[in-house]
Every structure is written in structure tokens, then in C-alpha cells.
Amino acid sequence: MSNETTPIRPDPVFTPDAAFFWEGVTRGELLGQRCSDCMKITHPPRPMCPVCHSIKRETVKLSGRGIVTSWVIPRHPAPIGFAEAPIVALIELEEGIRMVSNVIDVAPDAMKNGIAVEVRYAPTKGGKAVPVFAPAKGGARE
């Protein structure tokens, strides 16, 4: 969890396809969409499997562990809903999918690609939550 006492982070805006994802996050679970035919996990959730075009979907629980593959600190314009510019990162999860999220508990000077991270849940101002990532116990993987 971050140190925010009163959350100012904006609420997630989600599509019907991604409702299960955000409901999971609000409960403290990171969920993914898996194709029932080819078993490929994809993100973000969508009506049709991008691999085999099946429309049969199921929900699976994700490990919440991954690696930072790319990141940026967007300082201009100032991000809305953040006291300081957050670290925005592309996280590759163990399941092979990539997710754009924020990295917390890392000083900007110490941020780099390859950091092993695990999911946390940051509260939003409307009482919902969004997944963010913090350094995993065990530290960075080079």
C-alpha cells in the first residue's frame, strides 16, 4: 500500500469486458482472461481471443508477480490525481501478459528495467482500487 491517507487517485474507468478485472482488484485479486479453447491468457480483457478468435472466455487468478520491462515518469503535463508524478511502467507478468501500471516504493533514481515486482492494491478516491506494483521480496533480477 502507498502512504496516501486520503486517496486522490482517480477511479478506474472500465468497459463491460473488463468488469471482472476491476471487481477482482476491488477484492484484492488480480484476475486475467483466458481463452477456453487455446488456453492463452490475454490482457486487456476483450470479447474475442486474439490468437484463435474464440469467444469462449474464462477467468483465472494471476500470480501478481512480474518484471518491469519499460517505464517513464510523466512530469509534463502534471498528472491529474497524483501529488507527485507516478512511475508508469510496463510490467510483464509471469503468465506472459503485459500490463501498464504504476510502480510504488521505488525512488525515481533507483528505478530501472528488470526490477522484480509484485502487485499491491492502491485505493482510489471513489472507494475502488487499482493494481500497482512494488519491488518483490528478493530484490532485483539483473
- Answer yes or no whether residue 119 interacts with Zn ion by CB under 5 A: no
Find where cell 501500471 sits.
101
Distance, CA of 44 to CA of 124 (rounded, Å): 20
| Least separation in angstroms between CB 29 and Zn ion | 23
Task: Find the binding residues for Zn ion in span 68-107 (CB under 5 A).
Answer: none
One symbol per residue from 35 to 74: x for binding Zn ion (CB under 5 A), - otherwise; what is it? x-xx----------x-xx-x--------------------
- When the beta carbons of 39 and 110 are compared against Zn ion, the nearer one is 39
**In 89-128, which positions are buried (b, 16+ CB within 10 angstroms) versus exposed (e)?**
bbbebebebebebbbbebeeeeeeeebbbbbbbbbbeeeb
Give me the residues that bind Zn ion (CB under 5 A), please.
35, 37-38, 49, 51-52, 54
